[in-house]
Structure 1
Amino acid sequence: MSYADQVFVSMCRDIIDHGTSTEGEKVRPKWEDGTPAYTIKKFAVVNRYDLAKEFPALTLRKTGIKSCTDEMLWIWQRKSNNIHDLKPHIWDSWADEDGSIGKAYGYQMGVKHQYKEGMMDQVDRVIYDLKHNPYSRRILTNIYVHQDLHEMNLYPCAYSMTFNVTKRPDSEKLVLNGILNQRSQDVLAANNWNVCQYAVLMHMMAQVCDMQVGEFVHVIADAHIYDRHIPLVEELISREQHEAPKFWLNPDVKDFYDFTPDDVRLDDYATGPQIKNIPIAV
């Protein structure tokens, strides 16, 4: 059965059975009817996925691989902070009348910084180091920029990606590993979406830097299930689990900036039914 399913079920069970409730406390998010959106949460959830063994897509329900890839490329490749450059409508609630989400996410990835080697943004710096200095311990991104927080319509949730290169004893090809740091996550709405999009990023970076893909580690400081999501999660984690799908990435693409969502595909992807109309706290 899918390893991602096992991780997800175990995490959700632990949150529901052993988590801390915020009911009655001061919380920022609200439901559409204006009532406080309380959660059950766990601190410092760490999930590890070996991308060389299988792609970590849930089979309990379908994760839209092209849609989550499009959002990842919106941030990492197009470096946009405008929802008009994004096909999914997941950011609509945080956009202003012009479609901007402020100085958040893609905006920060596009800011150029001065390095010894010249002016580069964070994405280009990662690719440069992976190609020219792969054993560096300084290959990371950070979009939680305090001086710009007041101009962000939502503080970044997934805010830092750290890359680290290793080698397997049976191969000369380098192995690309990564750690995603996330300050907060709505487990039902976003967990596997984030896991899949950053797994895709790892595959893309490995391919354009002529490496093998390795381990993806997901660190969540506040992993929470909203009060109105608990019955949905209980039903979801009780479902039948299937074999993990096979991941396909267009092997002809050698430049990260040439990838599109159509260069990604999940084959033999058997899933349970989608959960529709998940209430989202804003």
Structure 2
Amino acid sequence: MPFTSEIHLSKGFETGEQPQPLVQDKKKSFGVFCDERGYLDQIEYIMQHGRTKGDRTGTGVVSVFGAQARYSLRDQFPLLTTKRVFWKGILEELLWFIKGSTNARSCLRKGSRFGKPTGRGPSWINSEYTNMHADYTEQGVDQLQKVIDTINTNPEDRRIIMCAWNPKDLPHMALPPCHALCQFYVIDGELSCQLYQRSGDMGLGVPFNIASYALLTYMIAHITGLKPGDFVHTLGDAHIYNNHIEPLKVQLQREIRPFPKLKILRKVESIDDFRAEDFEICDYNPHPTIKMPMAV
């Protein structure tokens, strides 16, 4: 890749008071963050250079503003190996979002840990917000289908975008969408996706976010006859909760293993027709789960 520049601290970091680093070893230079090594380097970077902040949950975080990592989707699927990641929950949640449902109970029944009633379901279809238990099927603009249609008819378009940030509906939501905007890019028969996420819980949430949008890219590539390319994950407030620091130090010591592969087991013509049994994760050999409390 052409991205080789070193990441430097901003002038504000250089002239301001420096916090005591959470990682006491000699600091290293950070280049572009790629694949699982990139994710772990981001964790270490935040521990070294992040600033202490309060947060909505009262837990407290160490945070940096502006972070980006790139994950190749070519013959691999970015499900972290330095801890076991809950694949079934990621899959069921994404299928739930695609259906435009906001009824959390249906997702919880299928096993997703993140099926809390946040009112995020209609965000991809831009429907008028009613309540978190409503069914939004066939209301509003189906941004996801528009993305697929544009990829099929005008793949060089620079506006292949889904936006979940609707200021009109923010007062009615339990929590505004963390996944504000994603954009798709087609080149050389490959489909890539970039997500802008306003807020990223690096320890618990981000591994799910990586896999979820990688899966979405695989699905859209399958529908449109393309191959998966890259997933680029751009974060606004990238933070580590204080009670995740010690578990993440354990994770940093673990050896990275090869990413698994994702197989789609049948030809699917429409994004709405995907079922959980259509997907198979192969050769996933992660380290054991690391428990981290969820901040709510």
Q: Same fold (TM over 0.5)?
A: yes
1:57 aligns with 79
Once the two structures are aligned, what percentage of the paired residues are identical?
A: 31
Question: Any idea what SS the aligned residue of 2:100 has?
Answer: coil
Q: 1:157 deviation in Å?
A: 0.5
Question: Any idea what SS the aligned residue of 1:6 has?
Answer: helix
Asked whether 1:147 is paired with 2:178, we answer: no
Question: Any idea what SS the aligned residue of 1:280 has?
Answer: coil
Amino acid of the structure 2 residue aligned with 1:238: Q
User: What is the CA deviation profile of residues 219-272 of structure 1, one whole-angstrom value per residue up to 9, with x for unaligned ones?
Assistant: 011111001110011011111221221221224222211112222222111111
Amino acid of the structure 2 residue aligned with 1:28: R
CA distance in 1, matches of 2:52, 2:164: 29
TM-score of the aligned structures, taking structure 1 as reference length: 0.83
1:203 to 1:160, Cα distance in 2 relative to 1, 3 A? same
User: What is the CA deviation profile of residues 104-123 of structure 1, one whole-angstrom value per residue up to 9, with x for unaligned ones?
Assistant: x221223369xxxxx84111
2:19 aligns with none
Alignment of 1:10-159 (within 5 A): 10-22=41-53, 25=54, 27-29=55-57, 36-75=58-97, 77-86=98-107, 87=110, 88-92=112-116, 95=117, 101-102=118-119, 105-111=120-126, 120-159=141-180
CA distance in 2, matches of 1:16, 1:111: 37
2:196 aligns with 181
1:228 aligns with 243
> Does the 8 A contact of 1:184 with 1:223 survive in 2?
yes
User: What is the CA deviation profile of residues 75-127 of structure 1, one whole-angstrom value per residue up to 9, with x for unaligned ones?
Assistant: 1x2111110221313233xx3xxxxx33xx221223369xxxxx841111111
CA distance in 2, matches of 1:157, 1:111: 16
- Count of aligned positions: 249
CA distance in 1, matches of 2:201, 2:126: 28
Amino acid of the structure 2 residue aligned with 1:281: A
Question: Any idea what SS the aligned residue of 2:204 has?
Answer: helix
Amino acid of the structure 2 residue aligned with 1:48: R
TM-score of the aligned structures, taking structure 2 as reference length: 0.80
CA distance in 1, matches of 2:230, 2:126: 28
CA distance in 1, matches of 2:214, 2:273: 18
- RCO comparison, higher one (Cα < 8 Å, 6+): 1
CA distance in 2, matches of 1:145, 1:57: 30
2:182 aligns with 161
CA distance in 2, matches of 1:131, 1:165: 10
Amino acid of the structure 2 residue aligned with 1:122: Q
CA distance in 2, matches of 1:179, 1:160: 8
Asked whether 1:279 is paired with 2:272, we answer: no
CA distance in 1, matches of 2:159, 2:35: 29
Q: 1:64 deviation in Å?
A: 2.0
1:116 aligns with none
Alignment of 1:192-271 (within 5 A): 192-271=207-286
Amino acid of the structure 1 residue aligned with 2:227: Q
The answer for unaligned runs of 5 or more in structure 1 is 30-35, 96-100, 114-118, 168-173
Aligned Cα root-mean-square deviation (Å): 1.7
> Does the 8 A contact of 1:177 with 1:216 survive in 2?
yes
CA distance in 2, matches of 1:187, 1:261: 26
Amino acid of the structure 1 residue aligned with 2:65: F
Question: Any idea what SS the aligned residue of 2:203 has?
Answer: helix
- Kindly report structure 1 stretches of 4+ aligned residues shifted beyond 4 Å: none
The answer for unaligned runs of 5 or more in structure 2 is 1-33, 129-139
